[in-house]
Amino acid sequence: MNTIIEGAVKALELLTSGDSDVFQVMTMTLFVSGIATAISVLLGLPLGLWLALVDFVGKQTLTSLINFGMGLPPVVVGLFVSVFLWRSGPLGNLDLMYTPTAMIIAEAIIAFPIVAGFSFTAIISINPKLRWRLLSMGATQWQVNCLLIKEARLGLMAAIMAGFGRVISEVGASMMVGGNIKGQTRVLTTAIVLEVGKGNYDVAMAIAYILLIITYTVIVLLTILQHDRKIL
């Protein structure tokens, strides 16, 4: 209990004192998580919508792969990305290993199937009679799809939240491809692991509080957008 209280006090001190190291890690966390989430949304959202709205051969197989990817262990993703980015790997000449770019790639891969899967579920959860009703009223297929997407907007925003939540809480892949280098690739989650390893539990708890504050703030903002009104 003392560690929890000391962590809260330490977090307040770090935030109010303007500690440059802490703010650098916070900035890197938001940068990597924000870009990775954006990429996963740009790729996953259209795929999920396409899977839900279009019938084609192999749809069930692709859907099962998306569902499989939703539970893919992050450390496995980190390993595969590392193999590709090592100097002896296919993309080794790009020198991306242990850089923020490598972390963004790994985290985007982790979040991509989550966004796609939640988007797919949001659309197919709508009453199927709605589509036929709209078509019978003379709406074009494009108009029907747009209306279905609008109807599923709450679920689609939930997909974005889920992707962001998975990315900002990720640690295994980030350490593998980023290296947890101070001032370069250290983020809040890897900083927590580092401080725990050093036995600085009060500092680790303080960083955990900061991570929770940032995550909650972003989720609240996304929730406001989701409901299109102020959430208290």
Q: What is the DSSP string of 39-79?
A: HHHHHHHHHHHHHHH---TTHHHHHHHHHHHHT--HHHHHH
Tokens of 202: 């009060």
Question: Where are the domains positioned within the chain?
Answer: 2-17+27-227
pTM passes above 0.85: yes
Residue with tokens 């992050």: 74
Give CATH superfamily name and number for 2-17+27-227: MetI-like (1.10.3720.10)
Q: Match 């990429």 to its residue by tokens.
A: 39
Tell me what pLDDT residue 100 has.
96
Distance CA 181, CA 197 (A): 15
Burial, 154: exposed, middle or buried (Cβ in 10 Å; 0-12, 13-18, 19+)? exposed
Per the structure block, which two tokens stand in for 176?
A: 């593998």
Q: State the residue for tokens 């279905």.
A: 148
- Between CA 69 and CA 226 the distance in angstroms is 25
pLDDT value at residue 228: 65
Q: CA 71, 72, 73 angle in degrees (round to 5)?
A: 110
Tens-of-pLDDT digits for all 232 residues of the chain? Answer: 676 777 777 777 777 787 788 899 999 999 999 999 999 999 999 999 889 888 888 889 999 999 999 988 999 999 999 999 998 889 989 999 999 999 999 999 999 999 999 999 998 888 767 777 776 777 777 777 778 888 888 888 899 999 999 999 999 899 999 999 998 999 999 999 999 999 888 888 999 999 999 999 999 988 888 776 444 4
User: What pLDDT does residue 230 have?
Assistant: 45
